[in-house]
Structure 1
Amino acid sequence: MDYPNDQAPGAPVRHGIPEHGRIPKYYAVKARLDGLIDGLGEGDPLPTERDLSEQYEVARETVRQAIRELVLEGKLRRQGRGTVVAGPKLEQPLSLASYTEGVRRQGRTPGRTLVTLDRFPCPASLAAETGLERGESVWHMERVLLADDERVGLESTYVAVARVPRLDADFDPDSSFYGFLHQQGIAFGDADERIETVLATPREALLIGTPPALPMLLIHRVSRDSEGRPLERVRSLYRGDRFSFTTHLRG
Structure 2
Amino acid sequence: MSDEPAGIDPTSSVPKHLQLKDLLGRMISDGLGPGSPIPSERDLAEQHGLSRMTVRQAINALVADGRLERRLGRGTFVAQPKMDVQIRLVGFTEDMRRRGMTASSRTLSFERIHASSALAGHLEVESGEPVVRLVRLRYADGIPMAIERTHLPERIVPGLVEAGAPESLYHYLAEEYGIVLTWGEQSIEAATTAAEDAPLLGIRSDGVVLIMARRSFAEDVQVEYATSAYRADRYQLWVPLAQAARPIVRNP
User: What band does the TM-score fall into relative to the shorter chain?
Assistant: 0.5 to 0.7
Stretches of structure 2 lacking an aligned partner (at least 5 in a row): 1-20, 45-62, 70-76, 244-252
Question: What is the alpha-carbon distance in structure 2 between the residues aligned to residue 208 and residue 112 of structure 1?
Answer: 12
Distance 1:44 1:206, change over 3 A: closer
In the alignment, structure 1 residue 155 sits paired with structure 2 residue 148: yes
Alignment of 1:60-71 (within 5 A): none
Q: Structure 1 residue 221: deviation in Å?
A: 0.5
In the alignment, structure 1 residue 46 sits paired with structure 2 residue 39: no
Q: What is the RMSD of the two structures over their aligned residues, measured on CA atoms? A: 3.7
Q: Structure 1 residue 133: deviation in Å?
A: 2.0
Aligned to 1:240: 232
Question: What is the alpha-carbon distance in structure 1 between the residues aligned to residue 79 and residue 171 of structure 2?
Answer: 30
Check whether the contact 1:158–1:234 (CA below 8 A) recurs between aligned residues. yes
Question: What is the alpha-carbon distance in structure 1 between the residues aligned to residue 205 and residue 183 of structure 2?
Answer: 34
Aligned length: 203
Question: What is the alpha-carbon distance in structure 2 between the residues aligned to residue 132 and residue 233 of structure 1?
Answer: 11
Question: What is the alpha-carbon distance in structure 2 between the residues aligned to residue 249 and residue 46 of structure 1?
Answer: 35
Aligned to 1:191: 184
Task: Name which of 130, 153, 161 aligns with 1:168.
Answer: 161
Alignment of 1:98-113 (within 5 A): 98-113=91-106
The CA deviation string for residues 93-121 of structure 1, in whole angstroms up to 9 with x for no partner, is: 10112222221121100111111112111
Question: What is the alpha-carbon distance in structure 1 between the residues aligned to residue 110 and residue 242 of structure 2?
Answer: 39
SS at match of 2:125: coil
* Alignment-mate amino acid for residue 46 of structure 1: S
Aligned to 2:223: 231
Question: What is the alpha-carbon distance in structure 1 between the residues aligned to residue 67 and residue 236 of structure 2?
Answer: 10
Question: What is the alpha-carbon distance in structure 2 between the residues aligned to residue 231 and residue 198 of structure 1?
Answer: 26
Check whether the contact 2:80–2:233 (CA below 8 A) recurs between aligned residues. no
Check whether the contact 1:92–1:99 (CA below 8 A) recurs between aligned residues. no
Please report the TM-score for the alignment, with normalisation by the length of structure 2: 0.67
Check whether the contact 1:132–1:230 (CA below 8 A) recurs between aligned residues. no
Question: What is the alpha-carbon distance in structure 1 between the residues aligned to residue 221 and residue 83 of structure 2?
Answer: 32
Question: What is the alpha-carbon distance in structure 1 between the residues aligned to residue 78 and residue 158 of structure 2?
Answer: 45
Distance 1:86 1:41, change over 3 A: farther
Q: Structure 1 residue 165: deviation in Å?
A: 2.4
SS at match of 2:214: strand
The CA deviation string for residues 172-225 of structure 1, in whole angstroms up to 9 with x for no partner, is: 45x221111111200213212111011112211111111222121111011221
Task: Name which of 110, 115, 119 aligns with 2:108.
Answer: 115
SS at match of 1:113: strand
Check whether the contact 1:111–1:145 (CA below 8 A) recurs between aligned residues. yes
Stretches of structure 1 lacking an aligned partner (at least 5 in a row): 1-30, 57-69, 77-83
Aligned to 1:146: 139
Please report the TM-score for the alignment, with normalisation by the length of structure 1: 0.67
* Alignment-mate amino acid for residue 242 of structure 2: R
